[in-house]
Amino acid sequence: MRAWLPFLEWAPVYSKSEAANDLLAAVIVTIMLVPQSLAYAMLAGLPPHVGLYASILPLVAYAIFGTSRTLAVGPVAVVSLMTAAAAGQVAAQGSALYLEAAVVLALLSGLILVAMSILRLGFLANFLSHPVISGFISASGILIAASQAKHILGVPAAGDTLYEIVRELVPSLGSANPYTLAIGVGSVVFLFWVRTRLKPLLVTAGLKPRAADMIAKAGPVVAIVTTIGAVILFGLDARGVKIVGEIPAGLPPFGTPSFNPQLWWDLLPAAVLISLVGFVESVSVAQTLAARRRQRVVPDRELTGLGAANIAAALSGGYPVTGGFARSVVNFDAGAETPMAGVFTAIGILAATLLLTPLFRYLPQAVLAATIIVAVLSLVDFAAMKRIWTYSRADFAAMAVTILAVLFVGVEAGIVAGVGLSLALFLYRTSRPHVAIVGQVPGTEHFRNVKRHDVATSPDLLSIRIDESLYFANARFLEDTIYDAVATRPELKNVVLMCPAVNLIDASALESLEAIAQRLGAAGVGFHLSEVKGPVIDALRRSDFFSHFKGEVFLSQHEAVRELSPQTPTPVQLAAARNMRARATRTG
């Protein structure tokens, strides 16, 4: 019971001091979340109040079902972009069907997340590698920033890919609205300044770092209030500055989206990707924060929390939500102690929805676009690209394909291509594993690669180590490798396949081992195994392998050499090798 309703753990012992801390954090998060919610709804192609709706009930649902103490859920940039891409494929922005599609996406994502929780499918998220996620988020950041440029310029421009966006923007550069441009560029510059410079300034002025940070986080509110004032004062809306316009005040509309099988089916693949991306983003934020306070997040339970939040979003006219990095950090830093902070934030947003919406009428879209641009450009992580390029070309390839596909094909294509390529590269690598002919490190019972270490070997015994599980993709490679190694050594009497890195021998590889044993046997060469792991030997014993196998299975390679080739290494060889060893590297 407690596993499924984590709030039962903290709610019964909820204290006044915790309440005070949660309340303070909620006020700060609310101030940050109101403009973000409006902006991300715009990014998703939805009316701004939908963003507010997505920031009320989902927070309460997560407080009940989520395991993180400090995660703040709501609309986030990347998921908003994915929502826009998916809904845009089935309906035109602004249509009733588009809005319905967004709600259905939230419902489907919620159901998928809950199903994944029940079926314990959280591990699926592990197949999104860090380079793919990092590339996806960086590329989404660039794409989102580009998509907001039209609001800064005050020109109409559509387009889902970077190429389309640029193609639509370039011809309209000349017709940019000067007032919109002033508000947009001014807001971007101001928000960047707030983000990067204001905090050090305030600290220099004597504020405590935490307080300075909190004030800096309210920057968007200042920009919003100022620009609303400017629009009203100078009648800028009549001069072509696009404003948010009438926002319906009042409670979110409660109810289930209508069941439209074709629409649900069309949106299903996108909902799966939104669920996975949202889950990965949310869990990594939650784990980062939990580790700082030595708390624990249970990924399979997080699925329930996020699923409940998305279902709640769907039932209250919202769109897909997930745990956001920036707001969760603010919540954490502002001192939130329990998910009650989320409930208080929900009340705050509800109050804003009921009372403040008339004020947002004159809010220029350009300032919302500026908020988005400043937020998402911090997601673009060039350092990660460089680091991954240096470390592994295969990982970089997966990252690069993800980035290029997101920018020039689409967000969903980006994830699918990245995951597909990273899995394909892993499979390709395991299909051509590293192989080492090994010899004994003199003076030890340890065996290492003859190419890297000065080790003792014997001409009548070949010790070969395959550094991979033996399975269908490398079964033929295994056969070819051993046949080639044997063909070039006429003095050979025994071959030992050293298996410390073999974690699995599947049916295909088993047939290959039988073929090798038979073929070497026909050539008068003994074939043996060493250092075979427990689970692998158990599996071999289940088959009839040992009824034909004439070789030995040695516990250690040392034992194999002692038994099969006791005369080597000779003391003289050993001394020589020991001298050489002084020149060898320590590892490798």
A 10 A CB-CB count for 105 gives: 31
Smallest gap, in angstroms, from Cβ of residue 27 to a copy of itself? 32
Residue number with CB closer to a copy of itself (186 or 500): 500
Dist CA 142 CA 499 (whole Å): 47
Please, which residue, 86 or 532, has the CB nearer to a copy of itself? 532
- What separation, in Å, do the N-terminal and C-terminal C-alpha atoms of the chain show? 50
Distance in angstroms (rounded) separating the CA atoms of residues 284 and 401:
23
**Contact (Cβ atoms closer than 8 angstroms) between residue 537 and residue 503:** no
Nearer CB in complex with a copy of itself: 333/467: 467
- Which residue, 123 or 234, has its beta carbon nearer to a copy of itself? 123
State the amino acid at position 255 in one-letter form. Answer: G
Q: How far apart are CA 323 and CA 315, in angstroms?
A: 19
Nearer to a copy of itself, 315 or 419 (CB): 419
Cβ–Cβ under 8 Å, residues 307 and 117: yes
User: Smaller CB distance to a copy of itself: residue 212 or 525?
Assistant: 525
CB-nearer residue toward a copy of itself: 213 or 468: 468
CB of 449: closest distance to a copy of itself in angstroms?
A: 6
Residue 16 or residue 542: which is nearer to a copy of itself going by CB?
A: 542
User: In the structure encoding, which two tokens stand for residue 39, read together?
Assistant: 């902006």
Contact call for residues 303 and 113 (beta carbons, < 8 A):
yes
Least distance to a copy of itself, CB of residue 585, Å = 9
Find how far residue 431's CA is from the centre of its chain: 26
Instruction: Give min distance, CB of 323 to a copy of itself, in A.
Output: 17
DSSP characters over 223-250: HHHHHHHHHHHHTGGGGT--B------S
**Rounded least distance, CB 355 to a copy of itself, Å:** 43
What minimum distance in Å lies between the beta carbon of 436 and a copy of itself? 8
Amino acid letter, 340:
M
**Cis peptide bond prior to 12, omega within 30° of 0:** no
Smallest distance, a copy of itself to C-beta of residue 410, A: 22
The residue type found at 419 is V
Provide CB contacts within 8 A for 288, sequence distance 6+: none
Token readout for 13 is 């012992």
Q: How many CB atoms lie within 10 A of CB 394?
A: 17
Shortest CB 128 distance to a copy of itself, Å: 7
Of 431, 376, 420, 380, residue with least CA distance to 398: 420
Q: Which is nearer to a copy of itself, 237 or 381 (CB)?
A: 381
Alpha-carbon gap, residue 417 to 430, rounded angstroms: 20
Closer CB to a copy of itself, 301 or 448, in the complex: 448
Which is closer to a copy of itself, CB of 179 or CB of 549? 549
Cβ-proximal residues to 566 (8 Å cutoff; 6+ apart), any chain: none
Q: What is the DSSP string of 535-567?
A: HHHHHHHHTTHHHH--S-EESSHHHHHHHH-TT
CB of 489 to a copy of itself, least distance (A): 16
CB of 391 to a copy of itself, least distance (A): 4
Shortest distance, position 322 Cβ to a copy of itself, whole Å: 18
Beta-strand relationship, 435-440 and 447-449: antiparallel
Angle, vertex CA 525, rays to CA 459 and CA 508, nearest 5:
115
Q: Which residues, listed in sequence order, are joined to residue 530 by a DSSP beta bridge? A: 498, 554
